[in-house]
Structure 1
Amino acid sequence: MSLIELHTRSLELAAELIDTVQPEQLVLPTPCADWSLRRLMEHVVGQHRGFAAAARGAGPDRALWRDAPVGADPGGAFRGSAAELTAAFTAAAGTPGRSRLWLPEIRDGGPFPLDLAVGFHLLDTLVHAWDVAAALGPSSAAGIAAAVEAEPPLAGALLAVAEVVPAAPADRGPGRAFAPGRAPATAAGSFGRALALLGRDPDWAPPAR
């Protein structure tokens, strides 16, 4: 499968999970510090739109990346913006001269090669899908991990991108996209190792009230 096809598959797996989110669950805490499930979903949909704008040739305009409301239908908001992004990536791949994308929220903004931008978003999609699943409960988190591991090309693509995410102290921690890396569990597969590299705690649980 091509990287764009693997990216599309990552969106499909995430959408299947997000379709199960009920409006009353949008207040749940997530592994993303201080972000409710609603806040996380607004970020995700905003990222879809930002990456789509970049693929259509937009410059480094941060306003294009702002969070987007999801209302009471996070699944619908996710699927609609994901379809827009898939179409934009596919069109960019077939358009000479549109192979470098400005991504103002990543390091110096780029421009980045299309394949690298697609890989960045594949990683973002699957890691945030795990964040959503963790908010819903341990069985959901285990389910998304198992679904990714069941597709070795997808799990391998995720791990390959995670391995090149900058991990210097200045690149990780509060206010950054990822926490410092963790040692993976002994039996962790590609998905588990990717989460560990990005600082996610596989045993995360919501704070006690």
Structure 2
Amino acid sequence: MSTPSSLTIGVLALQGDVREHRAMLEQCGVSAVGVRRPEELAQVDGLVIPGGESTTIGKLAGIFGLLEPIRAALRDGLPAYGTCAGMIMLADAIEGGTADQQTFGGIDVVVRRNGFGRQVDSFEAVVDFSPSWHDHFDYPATFIRAPYVEKVGDGVEVAATVTDEQGDRIVAVRQGRLLATSFHPEITGDTRIHELFVELVRS
């Protein structure tokens, strides 16, 4: 089994908090590199897909020749972790997206884009993060123009929810070696979710 220090995890460097994700991964003891080209994708053991604007990420992935290579890598078992817009990019289906919106797919969920509202509706909440492969813990989550998961397939594990006036909203899911959260752990200084992803990659 690989040790954390022998792993290289890529951060999709098209938009979003690339530097912040790399810093968090390095705190977890792995090498973290930016990925903007297929040849860089081929060198990594796992991939983080940051937040940003999901429609723009999809378009830029096409321009940089990464759309199909990432889809193929995910099908072949490359571990990936998507945050906020990254959750949308890993979803098999989107509500509230544009007609021509492209995603990488891989997680059998329907995600509601901007589900929690606009930038002005951003909020913080402590979520009970309860992945099946690790002890649960409370996590201080920051939601910025965040999506949520409306529907999950049979093979998808719900790892965290938050409650609003409409009820419980799914904000973290896992399917196999793919993990996604609605919120932005890279801006909290709390590395525990990145550590869980490193554990998924290592295993």
Give 1 or 2: higher helix fraction: 1
Identify whether the pair has TM-score above 0.5, normalized to the shorter chain: no
Larger Rg: 1
When normalised by structure 1's length, the TM-score is 0.31
Give the TM-score of the pair, scaled to structure 2: 0.31
